[in-house]
């Protein structure tokens, strides 16, 4: 009877168990697995980087005009809202203080600011001193100074936004006047940006507060302007 050299284990002639990627030493014992790496996939190639940069440039190029239009749209709306806010404040102050306020427009300097009537001849419903017979109260030697409050700060119209007033240029400027009686000069100010978007603020009557004019109001204003022009001819 023959006895196996390996004892009772009975493993002679059988291949040792090996893990994928493992190596076998000279003693027949399997070592730790070794995994190879494909060096070609360690990073991006120059061509791939160029393609990624090209895609990013295209996306930025498409997004930039949209962002610019959005920014201009915000500036257009913000400017119109600021004018409406100042106009309503001036209307309230004129009634509360009994003096006239003006919103002055300077298209050349692209500026809008408030002034208030001062001096001994300021328009006050309770005051009649220095009145000139045959003239409305406060028309003699009336002066207007800048408003000292925060609302008196100049509104600088941003670049890329233009405005047009339906006002007649007076000897002392172009303005909307708010009277102590609560009435104001009917007027409209159209703000527009480079994309052609228009927001028109103002009032068509002497008793309404300033607001954004609706499409119907703008059409009515155009009809009134056309009718007035035809009568003047």
In this model, does residue 141 exceed pLDDT 50? yes
* Architecture label for domain 46-232: 3-Layer(bab) Sandwich (3.55)
What CA–CA distance (Å, rounded) separates 175 from 185?
9
Q: Is 203 exposed, middle or buried (0-12, 13-18, 19+ CB in 10 A)?
A: buried
Beta-bridge partners for 205: none
Average pLDDT over residues 28-32: 54
pLDDT at 1: 47
Reported as a single tens digit per residue, the pLDDT across 62-120 is: 766 665 555 555 789 999 999 999 999 999 999 999 999 999 999 889 999 999 998 65
pLDDT at 59: 80
pLDDT at 160: 87
b/e code 126-156 from CB counts within 10 Å (16+ = b): eeeeeeeeeeebbeeebebeebeeebbeebe
What CA–CA distance (Å, rounded) separates 183 from 105?
19
Residue ranges covered by each domain of the chain: 46-232
pLDDT at 52: 85
Is 163 in contact with 107 (CB distance < 8 Å)? yes
What CA–CA distance (Å, rounded) separates 46 from 137?
82
Query: What's the token pair of residue 135?
Result: 């003239």
Q: 27-31, 127-131, 181-185 — which is least confidently predicted?
A: 127-131
111-118 vs 211-212, strand pairing mode: unpaired
Long-range contacts of 199-207 (CB under 8 A, 24+ apart): 199/76, 199/77, 199/80, 201/80, 201/83, 201/84, 201/87, 202/166, 202/176, 207/182, 207/183
Q: 22-31, 208-217, 220-229 — which is least confidently predicted?
A: 22-31
Beta-bridge partners for 194: none
pLDDT at 189: 94
User: What residues contact residue 99 under an 8 Å CB cut-off, 6+ apart?
Assistant: 93, 116, 117, 118, 122, 123, 124, 180
What CA–CA distance (Å, rounded) separates 185 from 20?
92
pLDDT at 49: 84
Reported as a single tens digit per residue, the pLDDT across 142-161 is: 789 999 888 999 999 998 89
Q: 13-27, 137-151, 165-179 — which is least confidently predicted?
A: 13-27
What CA–CA distance (Å, rounded) separates 170 from 63?
45
């Amino acid at each position: 009877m023959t006895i196996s050299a390996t004892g009772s284990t009975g493993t002679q002639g059988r291949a040792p168990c090996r893990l994928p990627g493992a190596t076998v030493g000279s003693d027949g014992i399997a070592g730790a697995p070794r995994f190879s790496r494909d060096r070609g996939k360690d990073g991006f190639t120059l061509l791939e980087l160029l393609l990624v940069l090209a895609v990013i440039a295209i996306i930025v190029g498409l997004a930039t005009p949209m962002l610019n239009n959005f920014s201009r749209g915000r500036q257009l709306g913000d400017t119109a809202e600021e004018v409406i806010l100042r106009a309503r404040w001036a209307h309230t102050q004129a009634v509360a203080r009994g003096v006239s306020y003006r919103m002055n427009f300077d298209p050349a300097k692209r500026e809008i600011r408030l002034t208030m009537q001062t001096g001994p001849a300021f328009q006050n419903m309770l005051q009649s001193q220095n009145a000139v017979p045959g003239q409305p109260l406060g028309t003699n030697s009336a002066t207007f100074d800048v408003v000292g409050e925060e609302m008196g700060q100049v509104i600088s119209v941003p670049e890329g936004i233009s405005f047009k007033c339906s006002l007649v240029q007076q000897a002392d400027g172009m303005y909307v006047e708010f009277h102590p009686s609560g009435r104001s000069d009917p007027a409209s100010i159209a703000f527009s940006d480079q994309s052609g978007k228009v927001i028109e603020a103002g009032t068509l009557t002497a008793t309404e507060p300033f607001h954004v004019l609706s499409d119907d109001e703008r059409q009515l204003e155009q009809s009134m302007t056309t009718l007035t022009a035809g009568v003047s001819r």
